[in-house]
Chain A
């Protein structure tokens, strides 16, 4: 079984001065391809930093971080941007969408930014399918600002899913949703996971949500700072 994320001896601080406190100190973290994982991360435990590293935005100085088989330390910033754009879907807590684009434009945006993400697929057709699946058909041409927050998060999920990325990182995507919307969102996301078998890293401080996942990783436990 291949690994999707493989972290060894990661140490990270925001300054290179020797006495600055570490933000991350993780000995080992492995997430296999096709796995769905609940990453418990209350605030103040280096969650944002870890996600920025996994997405290839922050550069690792000490230790080894492999994402989708690429050693992030060994490749350039440009290559990391490409890796993210082509193979990773990312969902934020809230306000995921570009306000001046309509729903469909928002969904296909990753394919416009990275030509390779769209390689081999007709991404407009896939966008239509996703809009259908996520129950957004009635809104496809709407301005995203007309949508409820629940609907916005579904559009964000569709955008993360387009082009069939191998890894999806969801950063507290339900934290601004009510219970009904949260359940709906989780069901949609997980049914898509069933279909596509991407690696899903679901980050949340809400322990109720771990019931959806076979494996839970607790950031306070693995991050020894």
Chain B
């Protein structure tokens, strides 16, 4: 009976009911959408690198080490000796290691010197691996693989020659004209800083600096034999990542590295460092959360407003229902039922439009903001949020319901207005 009357009555007030549902729908979509983006951004950020247990570089700021090794932002004050790398990686605790050598750029994009371990072992977003979209990994001295964004931006393809510039400025004056590189591979999009990297091997990194020992090119002609891999001696790298055979050894290994006697080096735990870093920049997400909460509040208030304003118009209706045997409790239930129906409909439509929108904006978010969103079913937290919204909306109907209840007690069968 109650639901029949509620349905008929709402159909009679189609426009206001629809506006009400619309405002709930929008606020649910916005709230859940912002939650998704918030989590996506955080996960995208903290999952920029996974599996790596330690990042090791010259002593300095931990944050700095994280930034230049993982995000290719800024630079190291000092490099570390190749011998140190060889020494540490040969420890029986180490499962694999990836060397990183920085210092140059291609049109503002950072050149990263590394070796095949990077393509084999580097992991991000759980267990995702660096995969070449086309070509092969840079094996020869002057081979280079491009991150997807770099390749796309400059319309580069396999076989194209590129000249790298010295230093990390985008307006570099000095370039490695005499040692052009050839593109051998293009890396598939990862939505991580890898997309903006230019990857060479350690030999190439070393070879392009031959004759630069004074900091500027000496102009002398270099014997091509020197560029052969077997003739190149790698002397230094910037930092390196290691995965240990056992997680338990991480703290011990870290302590050992921090006390390494032959060279001042330090180790950071990337997962922890990323968490810490997110906490310092994460206040933006808190603000977003608050804003979406406010929007939700407005949506819930719209139920209260629309029901409350309808009560006086419906006073006669309530008196008639009373005359037909409805109790004051019926009148109360009628309004609660209506508010919960409105908010339920709003939630359902909100979730629907969330998924619609998700499919629609996902590629755009990925390519522009590196926010990686998966179209996945509602999480338990989201179900809880929806339950909360439903309860809040139903509660918002409580005030008009109480008012209508009081009215019906006062009016009885006397029709007012």
Query: Complex Cα distance A114/B322, Å?
Result: 12
Contact at B320–A92, with CB atoms within 8 Å?
A: yes
Shortest Cβ distance from A102 into B: residue: B8
* Cβ distance B132 to chain A, nearest Cβ, rounded Å: 66
Query: Complex Cα distance A112/B325, Å?
Result: 10
Contact at A52–B412, with CB atoms within 8 Å?
A: yes
The interface size bin for chain B is: 20 to 34
Give the residue of A77, A81, A98 whose beta carbon is less than 8 angstroms from that of B317: A98
Give the residue of B317, B323, B330 whose beta carbon is less than 8 angstroms from that of A90: B323
**Contact (A105, B321) CB under 8 Å given A48-B414, A77-B327:** no
Interface size on A (CB < 8 Å)?
A: 33
Give the residue of A55, A77, A105, A159 whose beta carbon is less than 8 angstroms from that of B413: A55
Contact at B413–A81, with CB atoms within 8 Å?
A: no
The reply on B246 being an interface residue by CB < 8 A is: no
Contact at B8–A105, with CB atoms within 8 Å?
A: yes
Give the residue of A51, A98, A112 whose beta carbon is less than 8 angstroms from that of B320: A98
The reply on B216 being an interface residue by CB < 8 A is: no
Which chain B residues border A55 with CB–CB below 8 Å?
323, 412-413
The reply on B379 being an interface residue by CB < 8 A is: no
Which chain A residues border B321 with CB–CB below 8 Å?
98, 113
* Cβ distance B347 to chain A, nearest Cβ, rounded Å: 25
Contact at B1–A113, with CB atoms within 8 Å?
A: yes
Which chain A residues border B1 with CB–CB below 8 Å?
112-113
**Contact (A113, B415) CB under 8 Å given A98-B320, A99-B12, A105-B8:** no
The reply on A84 being an interface residue by CB < 8 A is: yes
**Contact (A86, B11) CB under 8 Å given A58-B412, A98-B317:** no
Which chain B residues border A95 with CB–CB below 8 Å?
316, 415
Interface mask (B1-15 → A, CB under 8 Å = 1, otherwise 0):
100110011011000
CB contact list, B290-339 vs A, under 8 A: 316-317, 319-328, 330
**Contact (A113, B12) CB under 8 Å given A55-B413, A95-B316, A95-B415:** no
Contact at A52–B8, with CB atoms within 8 Å?
A: no
Contact at A57–B324, with CB atoms within 8 Å?
A: no
The reply on A97 being an interface residue by CB < 8 A is: yes
Which chain B residues border A112 with CB–CB below 8 Å?
1, 4
Which chain B residues border A109 with CB–CB below 8 Å?
324
Shortest Cβ distance from A171 into B: residue: B413
Contact at A90–B324, with CB atoms within 8 Å?
A: yes
Contact at A81–B316, with CB atoms within 8 Å?
A: no
Contact at B325–A82, with CB atoms within 8 Å?
A: yes
Contact at B316–A90, with CB atoms within 8 Å?
A: no
CB contact list, B375-417 vs A, under 8 A: 412-415
Contact at B322–A57, with CB atoms within 8 Å?
A: yes
Query: Complex Cα distance A77/B329, Å?
Result: 11
Query: Complex Cα distance A50/B175, Å?
Result: 103
The reply on A96 being an interface residue by CB < 8 A is: yes
Give the residue of B5, B323, B326 whose beta carbon is less than 8 angstroms from that of A92: B323
Which chain A residues border B414 with CB–CB below 8 Å?
48, 52
Which chain A residues border B330 with CB–CB below 8 Å?
113
The reply on A85 being an interface residue by CB < 8 A is: yes
Contact at A117–B8, with CB atoms within 8 Å?
A: no
Contact at B325–A85, with CB atoms within 8 Å?
A: yes
What are 17 contact pairs spanning A and B, CB under 8 A?
A: A48-B413, A81-B325, A81-B326, A84-B325, A86-B325, A92-B319, A92-B323, A98-B8, A100-B12, A110-B324, A112-B4, A113-B1, A113-B321, A113-B326, A113-B330, A114-B324, A114-B325
A residues in contact (CB < 8 Å) with B: 48, 51-52, 55, 57-58, 77-78, 81-82, 84-86, 88, 90, 92-93, 95-101, 105, 109-110, 112-114, 117, 159, 171
List 8 A-B pairs, minimum CB-CB distance, nearest first: A85-B325, A100-B12, A57-B412, A81-B327, A90-B323, A52-B412, A110-B324, A112-B1
